[in-house]
Amino acid sequence: MNVDYDQIAKAYDHHRRAGGPYMETLCGLLKRCPGRRVLELGAGTGNSTEALLEAVPCTLTALELSPGMLEQAKRKRIPARWVRGSATALPFANQAFHFVYATYMLHFIHDLDLLMHECWRVLEEGCAAFTTAPTSFIENHPLNRYFPSFAQTDLARFQSIERVKEAFCSAGFTQICHEQKHKAPDPIDAAYVRKVEGKFLSTFNLLPSGEFERGLKELRADVESGKCRGMHVIWETVTIWGYKHA
């Protein structure tokens, strides 16, 4: 299952904003690290990059695989070093960073053990942290009623918290923990329909042929007729982390 980020980079950046309910967890972890050399993996168009730099002064290297996403990110003039490369073959020296993190990249990684070993290698002493979607959020998402393959598509690619912790452990990380956070409820209204129209989640690009168009039509009709009044989405996230000690 592939998402062409080069093709969707502009739309992605239009519909996704800097930060999220996970920023408090990530910033807290960074503040407790012994240094401020930071590596972000799968930085996309720089949403989390920008939010982290605003919250905690640090020297940030942002790695991204898609040239299209990199191009969008660079336009924002975020004060980070941008590098094209893969999270599973990091183009950096051993022990170059104190904090490695990624938001919503983990579900694109097929070999979690390789990823964690790379994180271990480039960390001096510090922490690696990954923010992703918890299974409960995927299973209970209100859009499941409009897009029948929505949950199945994401459950097949988002790893469980337990699986991520296992990979941390086998790479040698200790003090492995997780924290769930959620945002205030967002109404399912005309503004939300516009985000769905813009395919603000990569899941929409992976649905079987015709399902997106049918679901969107039904959602739009329900919002227009007032059937969605009182319905909302609560964005839930989980951040999982582990420490490397000197």
Ligand X SMILES: C[S@@+](CC[C@H](N)C(=O)[O-])C[C@H]1O[C@@H](n2cnc3c(N)ncnc32)[C@H](O)[C@@H]1O
The C-alpha atoms of residue 95 and residue 151 are separated, in whole angstroms, by 38
Applying CB under 6 A, which of residues 38, 39, 51, 69 lies at the interface with ligand X?
A: 69
Helices 211-224, 190-197: inter-axial angle, 10-degree rounding: 170
Applying CB under 6 A, which of residues 72, 103, 153, 239 lies at the interface with ligand X?
A: 103
42 interacts with ligand X by CB under 6 A: yes
87 interacts with ligand X by CB under 6 A: yes
The C-alpha atoms of residue 22 and residue 99 are separated, in whole angstroms, by 16
Beta strands 97-103; 81-84: pairing state? unpaired
Q: CB of 189: closest distance to ligand X in angstroms? A: 23
Applying CB under 6 A, which of residues 44, 126, 215, 242 lies at the interface with ligand X?
A: 44
**CA nearest neighbour of 20 among 50, 65, 57, 56:** 50
Closer CB to ligand X, 2 or 225, in the complex: 2
Closer CB to ligand X, 107 or 223, in the complex: 107
Instruction: Give how far Cα 109 sits from Cα of 19, 105, 106, 146, Å.
Output: 22, 7, 5, 28
Query: Footprint of ligand X on this chain (CB under 6 A)?
Result: 5, 16, 41-44, 47-48, 63-66, 69, 86-88, 103-105, 108-109, 202
